[in-house]
Amino acid sequence: MPALAQRMSRAKPSAIMVIADKAKKLKAEGRSIVNFSIGVPNFLPGEHVYEAARAALKTDTGAYGSNRGRDDLLDAFLGHLQESRFTGYTRANLAIGIGAKQVLYNLCEALLDPGDEIVFPTPYWTSYMDIAEILGAKITLLPCPPEQNYKLTPAQLDKALASKPKVFLFNNPSNPTGMVYTREEIAAIADVLMKHPDTWIIADDIYNRMVFDGVGYHNVVHLRPELRERTAIMDSLSKTYGMPGWRVGFVTAPERLATALVTLNSNHITNLPEIVTAAGVAALSGPQDITREKCADFSRRRDEVMTALLSIPGVKCPRPQGAFYVFPDISVAFGKSHDGRKIGNDVDFCAALLDAKGVACVPGSAFGEPRALRISYTCKPAELTDGLQRLREFFAELG
């Protein structure tokens, strides 16, 4: 058989999907499974979104659409940007994608030649590594361990940017840690970025409406508007509106970059479907109460998870303030056994936890931090309480 392209030797399936699939299989076999593994918001969009989709079906033209995104969708997104205190952008600064994941792929393709350097903090969202590897970029990781609250320091960034990497990729609020940078922390990062004009900035801000405790959402462009000339801001309807499967992502960027992304869209995807576009307009311009309610709900769940985790001797966990993830350091379990089964690392831990207690979590090594695991806490409230109890029992049974 002829060979596949060399890049496929670097491409691997998402580690999160591997765990989620195993959990699904066990459930299908009749096991009682609590799934903390997959990062879905677990709520549905409002009725007005479905109504808009149904109405669009009736008027569907079946035609190809805009590579940038249909005007009404772009305008609705511009309104959303204004609410998030981004002003002065026009349609020419925007491009859609099939979810933020494809937006990120496009951005990396537009900015990185093979061998170009991309820098991002660890823990990172798994696809950062996967996409950069597929594209043959040189990846530099900036370790942000639990001891520094999983947050990047200005000094770390300053040092990393001295080599003039092509791209600095920054995620706030964070998947997998749930950390949110304060206004002051973003200001300090923005000041460092000002000193390094040769680096593009990709700000993955897709959880910007899921922030708790009054910390607020801040982007380097808010603090240093000059940075907009080399900053691309990613957004998505997936988490904010309970629409992960609808696949609507956005990027806000300087015109030249946005146009490059539209060119890539014309080659990769052509357009978003009309029905999805109409649903997206309705989500962005309709009532926002579901998003607000869910954010309040997630912050209460965060409290429940933190109380459970901090009651386990030796488990350490910086307190998340956004998204719907918690990322505890569970390394206290390494070197111990459960029911005769050795726990050497995070992967052993998650495998044993799933087999013994039916709780599915993603090993931290999937995000570049092998001392931790990720809990996504959007399941039903009763399942959350049950899953946390099973996790506590698992720890108590370690010998």
Is position 249 an interface residue for ligand PLP (rule: CB under 6 A)? yes
Alpha-carbon distance of 262 to 276, in angstroms, equals 18
Position 397, amino acid? E
Shortest reach from residue 174's CB to ligand PLP, in Å:
7
Out of 236, 252, 265, 271, name the contact with ligand PLP by CB under 6 A: 236
3-state secondary structure of 276: helix
Nearer to ligand PLP, 125 or 349 (CB): 125
Whole-number Å distance between alpha carbons of 328 and 388: 13
Q: Which of 35, 37, 93, 171 binds ligand PLP (CB under 6 A)?
A: 171
Under the binding rule (CB under 6 A), the answer on residue 206 touching ligand PLP is yes
Would you state the structure tokens that stand for residue 150, as one six-digit string? Answer: 């999983």
Tell the smallest beta-carbon distance from residue 79 to ligand PLP (Å): 19
H helix intervals, 60-125: 71-83, 99-111
Does residue number 39 form part of the binding site for ligand PLP (CB under 6 A)? Answer: yes
Interface residue with ligand PLP among 106, 175, 271, 378 (CB under 6 A) is 175
Looking at beta carbons only, is 123 or 328 nearer to ligand PLP?
Answer: 123
Does position 120 interact with ligand PLP (CB under 6 A)? The reply is no
Residue count, binding to ligand PLP (CB under 6 A)? 13
Closest CA to 16 of 330, 391, 374, 320: 374
Q: Is 259 exposed, middle or buried (0-12, 13-18, 19+ CB in 10 A)?
A: middle
CB of 294 to ligand PLP, least distance (A): 16
Touching ligand PLP, residues 278-337 (CB under 6 A): none
**Which of these segments, 93-101, 146-154, 250-258, 304-312, binds ligand PLP (CB under 6 A)?**
93-101
Name residues whose C-beta falls within 8 Å of residue 234's C-beta, 6 or more positions apart in sequence: 100, 103, 104, 107, 202, 203, 204, 205, 206, 249, 250, 251
Instruction: Examine residue 244 and tell whether it contacts ligand PLP (CB under 6 A).
Output: yes
Stretch that binds ligand PLP, among 97-105, 180-188, 263-271, 351-359 (CB under 6 A): 97-105
Q: Which two tokens stand for residue 73?
A: 């969708």
Residue 386 backbone phi and psi in degrees, to 5: -65, -45
- If binding is defined by CB under 6 A, does position 238 make contact with ligand PLP? yes
Query: Least Å distance between CB 238 and ligand PLP?
Result: 3
